[in-house]
Structure 1
Amino acid sequence: MAHSKEMTRICVIGAGPSGMSMLYHLAKMEGQGKRIPDVVCYEKQPDCGGLWNFDWRTGVDEHGEPIHGSMYRHLWTNGPKECLEFPDYTFDKHFGKAIPSFPNRAVILDYLNGRWNTVNARKFVRGNTKVKNVIYNPDNDDFTVWARDQVDDKDLPPEQFSHIVVATGHFSVPNIPYFKGVETFPGRILHSHDFRDAHEFKGKNLLVIGSSYSAEDISLQCVKFGANNIVCSSRSGPMGFKWPAQIQERPLLERIEGQTVYFQDGTSTEVDAIIFCTGYKHTFSFLPDNLRLKTENTFYLPNLYKGIVWIKTGNNKLMYIGMQNQYYTMTMFDVQSFWACRVILGETTLPEKEVMEVDIARWIHKLERVTSTSQAIDFQTEYVMDLGRESGYEHNLDVKDIFDYWEEMKMESIMTYRDNVFKSKFTGTISCKHDKPFMDALDNSYDDLY
């Protein structure tokens, strides 16, 4: 079906926190009387929420598709909720009372759903629908999208869109390096993507490979639920926390012989299981090469103006939300989405390609000078604030002081930092404490904690 070049029709791919922020702002603008384009959001999972949905499955889902989520049963946030709080929909507004600064997964998902429901953002979402292919049509200056209804097991008719917003996240396709002898290891081997419940490793000796958030959090979870001993190994050096006696750090794994693992410093130990916490690959199988972002996990991405607009092809009508490495999460996705909405609606004008290329290079050069966690937080704060100023976002999202205090608490005690309380920037409310310290709270249900 032919469409005029003036047609504005938005396809959002993914209904996790990034995609839903896009839909939230469009629905909010519509509720304020603004005319918005036709919007369709394709979501592969049955419901909105992305990684915040818990799926007990690993491998493939009920439709034979690779499992998207990496959520495990007993997850608590590893950053304070005050760093991801929406200024126009605070935790006070949702819960009507103070809650702890480090909630569990179910609490965060409930909060997100509460915000989305205020404007009926779900009305745009087609669940259980997988995007199979997207192409850009230069002659019409639009895109064709092919999708599949996973419930009825049938391909849907192709649809045309003027704009594509990719909001599928980048924590779904595991990066798993090879180590000599791993194929003959007799114990359990998994990536953190498939980690579901630490009870499985009670009484076990574990090797955790990696040094980022997954490594630190899964190690603590396993100790919390009764693992005997954990050795953390990474190429980037020790994480530097004051670990409990059950957790030690070693240099990078060198080889595996039977149940014995050998490290680059010549030491070795026997383990029952190996957990790869080695990150994820940016993977967009539904996009052709000329539209596909290819990058490592970094704080500023190549070929994306303002970290959002794909400048290589597609006439600046392909956008990515939430694809960079993150300290800021929900609020960064939110201001990115607001900025993208303004561009699509013609309320913000993009500069010429040469200007955008210079701006990208400027940010990447700035990132090259970042050498510490504090500087990385500064860098992303500046990025978030830049988007807010340029788009006219109504609120100041700068929570660098909270991030800095949080990082200080982690270095003081990785075991107890989740027991601390923080103050909301937007309401002034100081969070309450959990009934039990994090390491003693084994029942992580919504009702038990809240």
Structure 2
Amino acid sequence: MRIAICGAGPSGLSQLHAFECVRQNGDPIPDIVCFEKQSDLGGQWNYSWRTGLNEYSEPVHSSMYPNLWTNLPKECSEFVDYSFDEHFGQSLTSFPPRAVFYDYIQGYAKRNNVRQYIQFNTVVRWISYSDEKQKFHLYKYGVKSVILSYRTRPKGFKWPDLVQEVPLLVRIDKENVLFKDDSFRKFDAIIFCTGYVYHFPFLDNNLRLKSTNTLYPPDLYKSIVWMHQPRLLYLSMLRLTFSFNVGNVQEWFARDLILGKINLPLSKEEMTSDMKHWQMRAKVVQNFSDYVEFQRDYVQNLVEMIDYPRFNLDEMVRMLLEYGKLRSDNLLTFREQIYVSTVSNTLAKQHHTPWLKEMDDSLENFIKK
């Protein structure tokens, strides 16, 4: 059996780690290769200043940008077998910037010996089978005002004084912008915050997931197995709150499915029924609390089917619900909160400078003080 993994981001690295664990235990694994189009691992976290085309004339796309900070506690993104404390040798703030996360991902890959499987600078051309962050970085770095145009309904947060929500943008006339309520404003810059759209141009149409960033994507059993060709597995396609841990659990499930340790239902109807159950639950999610509890139940359902290391999922839920309230109460100060790691059981360290005043997001600035 030969396994191809597309992408050496956190999900691809976790999938490689899942197989490497089996190999290190003395059991055979399939022939595995991971294709990564960049020159190093890390996926989106491996930020590049390039836009448009890279040096090989390949399209460059990244959701990252300079001075990006996480807006979820790192304690909810921590690999259960590799803590931030273990990697850095010290306690860090609960809301670090991109550079800290990227270094952590690099350490995770090195510690788990997965680079050996990765073929860098390799673009996957074609596969067939014949069968609310940026707005506050603008605020932080000194803009005079920020106007948020919503498509359907306002977020309803307690915005800072310089931030305002308005209805849908309908027309742009030079520097003048018209909104659906007939109001006009003048702007120096317009940023399209369009959210995540999954795009797989290298997949044949009968293999291609067509979905927005949602709680439970269509046509995927357990949000992993492509219903129309079960030999194709999608990873981390659902909207994440437990971040790396959701991906990790999915990768363990995918590994055990490939190795025959777990089996798919006997009929497509059974898989469809299970998928519809989760999709119906997703439809009634109304708020952040519902969202967290939905994902908790989904993760727990997968964990019960595999030998993934057990972790304190309930404590992560409690942490996320507290975070959600703090974020709703004050969007500018919630990053000052610190949490206890469910992996190392240590309390995060308060950063020496409040987020709103911290302009240096380098790794060195976080580690040295």
TM-score band, normalised by the shorter chain? Answer: over 0.9
- Determine the structure 1 residue equivalent to 2:115: 122
1:285 has 2:201 as partner? yes
Per-residue CA shift, 1:357-385, capped at 9, x if unaligned? Answer: 11011111111111111101111111111
Segments of structure 1 that go 5 or more residues without pairing to the other structure are: 1-7, 139-215
For 1:251-400, what aligned pairs fall within 5 Å after superposition?
251-313=167-229, 316-352=230-266, 353-396=268-311, 398=313, 399-400=316-317
Equivalent-residue separation in structure 2 for 1:310 and 1:321 (angstroms): 10
Paired residues of 1:98 and 1:432 also in contact (CA < 8 A)? yes
Equivalent-residue separation in structure 2 for 1:47 and 1:397 (angstroms): 32
* Identity in percent: 40
The offset of 1:265, in angstroms, is: 2.0
SS in 2 for 1:276: coil
- Determine the structure 1 residue equivalent to 2:81: 88
Paired residues of 1:61 and 1:67 also in contact (CA < 8 A)? yes
Per-residue CA shift, 1:100-140, capped at 9, x if unaligned? Answer: 000111111111111111121111000110011112245xx
The offset of 1:311, in angstroms, is: 1.4
From 311, 314, 321, the equivalent of 1:404 is 321
- Determine the structure 2 residue equivalent to 1:222: 138
Equivalent-residue separation in structure 2 for 1:47 and 1:417 (angstroms): 33
The offset of 1:34, in angstroms, is: 1.5
Per-residue CA shift, 1:296-343, capped at 9, x if unaligned? Answer: 221111111100011113xx1110001112222111110000010000
Paired residues of 1:15 and 1:50 also in contact (CA < 8 A)? yes
Equivalent-residue separation in structure 2 for 1:438 and 1:266 (angstroms): 36
From 26, 43, 55, the equivalent of 1:33 is 26
Equivalent-residue separation in structure 2 for 1:68 and 1:30 (angstroms): 34
Paired residues of 1:415 and 1:439 also in contact (CA < 8 A)? yes
Paired residues of 2:83 and 2:344 also in contact (CA < 8 A)? yes
SS in 2 for 1:128: coil
Higher relative contact order (CA 8 A, sep 6+): 2
For 1:426-445, what aligned pairs fall within 5 Å after superposition?
426-445=343-362
The offset of 1:243, in angstroms, is: 2.2
SS in 1 for 2:304: helix
- 2:154 alignment partner AA: P
1:242 has 2:158 as partner? yes
Equivalent-residue separation in structure 1 for 2:33 and 2:140 (angstroms): 43
Task: Give the 3 Å change call, closer, same or farther, for CA 125–101 of structure 1 in structure 2.
Answer: same
TM-score by length of 1: 0.79
TM-score by length of 2: 0.96
Paired residues of 2:78 and 2:84 also in contact (CA < 8 A)? yes
SS in 2 for 1:129: coil
- 1:230 alignment partner AA: V
- Tell which deviates more after alignment, 99-108 or 388-397: 388-397
Equivalent-residue separation in structure 2 for 1:258 and 1:397 (angstroms): 54
Equivalent-residue separation in structure 2 for 1:21 and 1:246 (angstroms): 41
- 2:205 alignment partner AA: D
- Determine the structure 1 residue equivalent to 2:55: 62
**Aligned residue pairs: how many?**
364
The offset of 1:220, in angstroms, is: 1.0
Equivalent-residue separation in structure 2 for 1:429 and 1:70 (angstroms): 31
Equivalent-residue separation in structure 1 for 2:76 and 2:284 (angstroms): 24
The offset of 1:240, in angstroms, is: 2.2
Equivalent-residue separation in structure 2 for 1:434 and 1:251 (angstroms): 37
Equivalent-residue separation in structure 2 for 1:321 and 1:397 (angstroms): 22
Per-residue CA shift, 1:272-310, capped at 9, x if unaligned? Answer: 111000123211111111111111221111111100011
- Tell which deviates more after alignment, 381-390 or 232-241: 232-241
Equivalent-residue separation in structure 1 for 2:138 and 2:54 (angstroms): 25
RMSD: 1.2
Equivalent-residue separation in structure 1 for 2:335 and 2:22 (angstroms): 37
1:14 has 2:7 as partner? yes
Segments of structure 2 that go 5 or more residues without pairing to the other structure are: none
Per-residue CA shift, 1:1-50, capped at 9, x if unaligned? Answer: xxxxxxx1100011101111000111122112121111011011111101
From 331, 334, 339, the equivalent of 1:422 is 339
Equivalent-residue separation in structure 2 for 1:275 and 1:217 (angstroms): 12
